[in-house]
């Protein structure tokens, strides 16, 4: 019942908070520490596709994505710890990705490489699956897992508030 947009914001925030809590518990004071947490999901047909449980699950996801356009959402949370306060920012980036029609043989061959097994949506755009991508609207690095250009802009804005 949660949207992909909201899910990645919550997950990235939780990751960043967990690291921040660890910094506080460690011998490191945390002053001047920048923590970045990120999480990415693939969404198709109003369904969040995480990492596949097994090869059958991977193939099922790829059948859903093939010959279609889906969304990749990445949530990023930034925490900057200073002597005075903590500064926080969470944002979500979305990229549309279009996949070519795939044959059952192509899906089976890709799954057999093992590449989809630890990837949200069962594919890596920067890997062997790249040849099946027919279009992308948005930030390529977001699909890889971290929207670098947006992170740079948001981090700069946050640092300007502090300095």
The catalytic residues are 39
Tokens of 111: 């799954």
- First CA to last CA distance, the chain: 40
Number of residues written out for the chain: 163
| Helices 104-112 and 55-65: angle between axes, nearest 10 degrees | 140
Phi (first) and psi of residue 130, to 5 degrees? -55, -35
By C-alpha distance, which of 22, 45, 23 is closest to 33?
A: 23
DSSP-derived letter for residue 123 is -
């Amino acid at each position: 019942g949660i949207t992909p947009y909201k899910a990645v914001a919550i997950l990235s925030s939780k990751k960043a908070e967990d690291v921040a809590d660890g910094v506080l518990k460690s011998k490191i004071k945390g002053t001047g520490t920048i923590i970045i947490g990120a999480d990415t999901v693939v969404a198709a047909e109003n369904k969040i596709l995480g990492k596949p449980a097994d090869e059958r699950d991977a193939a099922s996801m790829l059948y859903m994505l093939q010959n279609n356009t889906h969304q990749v959402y990445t949530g990023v949370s930034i925490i900057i710890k200073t002597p005075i306060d903590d500064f926080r920012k969470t944002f979500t980036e979305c990229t549309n990705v279009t996949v070519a029609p795939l044959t059952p043989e192509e899906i089976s061959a890709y799954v057999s490489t093992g590449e989809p097994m630890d990837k949200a949506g069962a594919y890596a755009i920067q890997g062997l699956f790249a040849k099946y991508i027919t279009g992308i609207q948005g930030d390529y690095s977001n699909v890889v897992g971290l929207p670098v250009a947006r992170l740079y802009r948001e981090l700069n804005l946050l640092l300007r508030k502090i300095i």
